[in-house]
Structure 1
Amino acid sequence: MKIVVIGGSGLIGSDVVNRLRKGGHDVIAASPNSGVNTITGEGLSQALSGAEIVVDVANSPSFEDKAVLEFFETSGRNLFAAEAAAGVRHHIALSVVGAERNPDSGYLRAKLAQERLIKTSGIPYTILRATQFFEFVAAIIQSGADGDSFRLSPALFQPIAADDVAAALADLVVGAPLNGTVEVAGPEPITLDAIARQYLAAKGDTRLVIADVHARYFGGELNDKSLTPGDRPRLGSIRFADWLKASAAKEKRSEQFVGSH
């Protein structure tokens, strides 16, 4: 079974590719680096020739409102035209939990536009909506920088390890198209300000985190339902505290390697 992973060289894509190859599948990791560009169409029809399944985890290089919307709309139209020509049987895409509940976010508006294209493409599909990745917690904290402190919402969210997201995507690949949406979240809910304190403490950073209900999250204010999944989401197995420890150990090994060369 030939599977094409669009965005196959990125954080999620490379993990999905590795998992599927270990499962014995014929997988193409498609990205501009490998000569496949969903914006220009370069290499797209060749990559999809004979493919049964496409996994789209590509992301916009710019998060500016207009640019990110144009990316997902242009990429989606080009991709679905190529998929229809190739006879693709299942399109699987990664989106974001709560996209429709955060209209002030240009990025999430663009993800909704992508979802609409998927649903009207005529190609059988499954959309996996994930919560925020542990790997992006540092950027979330930085977005709330306020002088020598951080001002963040005390709203709940349920972040997840990127590895758990890749595992969920790989699992959906071997199943039938749902023509619907599945949610995946981390194993435990936590507030944004609390996870920031936990992360900074692990890094030895003593800067203050201020809980502010009016603090903006990439454009909009949050409540406890803005970023949390609905009933019965799939749950990842990796807890944030364990991910922090593993990340610290990995950083230490990297430093030791660099220091020995």
Structure 2
Amino acid sequence: MRVAVIGGTGLVGRHTVDALRAKGHEPVVVSRRTGVDVTTGAGLDAALEGVAAVIDVVSFESAERAAAEQFFAAETENLLIAEQRAGVGHHVLLSIVGVDRVEGNAHYAGKRVQEALVTDGAIPWTIVAATEFFDFAAQVVGWTRTDAGAVVPPLLVQPVAVADVADLLAEVAVRKPVGRTIEIAGPETHDLVDMARRTLTARGDEVRLIASWRDSPLGVEMAGDVRLPGDDARIAPTTFETWLATQSKRG
């Protein structure tokens, strides 16, 4: 099957392209690097020619809610319209577990707009909602790092490997649309501060970690089990320890 991967040169996109190829399908990489701009629609018609399904893994980071909502609205509307013209039969969206339970986060607000457009749209759909990736703790360190250290909130998460999410996206895309959300999470829950400490240790990086919600890029509304998946979530096989072993080989 010919499947377009929107954002196919990014982290999740690259893994998804590989997963599709491994399953014997023909991935079409769609990104600005391949001459397509989903925010304007330029190049989409040519990219979707002969495509049976689309997987949208495009990401956008902004601290401004309006900017995030505008980006995801524009790219999703352009994509769905182009899919109608191309006769695409299945739209698969990568989203986030618990996106509707966190009001104050700008990125989540944008993803909610995106989900609404997909579920109300004319293209049959499936949403795959994933928990945080294993490298999320290190990302938070990067966002808050100063000479004094890095603020990491004591967030309870059930992180997942990017490759496992990509494998599910590739699996779902070539099946019939189900019109509902499928959640995927890793096999174990972890504290984000501990994850950050272990990741930095594996990479040989020394940073003082400050466990606090204050001055954190994440709001306290994420505390407790808000970020955890439901009971019917797909549990991916890769453990955090397995991923950590790959980090220790860096450099």
TM, length-normalised to structure 2: 0.92
Identical columns (%) = 38
Structure 1 partner of 2:24: 24
1:147, distance to aligned residue in structure 2 (A): 5.2
Structure 2 partner of 1:34: 34
AA partner of residue 42 (structure 1): A
AA partner of residue 174 (structure 2): V
AA partner of residue 197 (structure 2): R
Query: For the Cα contact (< 8 Å) 2:5–2:54, is it kept in 1?
Result: yes
Instruction: Quote the RMSD (CA, aligned, Å).
Output: 1.9
Match runs of 1:1-261 below 5 Å: 1-60=1-60, 62=62, 64-145=64-145, 148-212=148-212, 216-249=216-249, 251-252=250-251
Q: State the distance in 2 between where 1:215 and 1:159 align.
A: 23
Q: State the distance in 1 between where 2:28 and 2:207 align.
A: 44
Q: State the distance in 1 between where 2:155 and 2:197 align.
A: 14
Structure 2 partner of 1:258: none
Change (3 A) 1:211 1:219: closer
* Matched pairs, number: 251
C-alpha offsets along residues 119-152 of structure 1, whole Å, 9 cap, x if unaligned? Answer: 0002110100111111332111234447523333
Q: State the distance in 2 between where 1:234 and 1:93 align.
A: 16
Query: For the Cα contact (< 8 Å) 1:4–1:54, is it kept in 2?
Result: yes
TM, length-normalised to structure 1: 0.88
Consecutive unaligned residues in structure 2, runs of 5 or more:
none
1:97, distance to aligned residue in structure 2 (A): 0.9
Q: State the distance in 1 between where 2:194 and 2:241 align.
A: 12
Change (3 A) 1:192 1:78: same
Consecutive unaligned residues in structure 1, runs of 5 or more:
253-261
Secondary structure at the residue paired with 1:134? coil
AA partner of residue 97 (structure 1): V
Answer with 197-206 or 3-12: which moved more: 197-206
Query: For the Cα contact (< 8 Å) 1:104–1:220, is it kept in 2?
Result: no
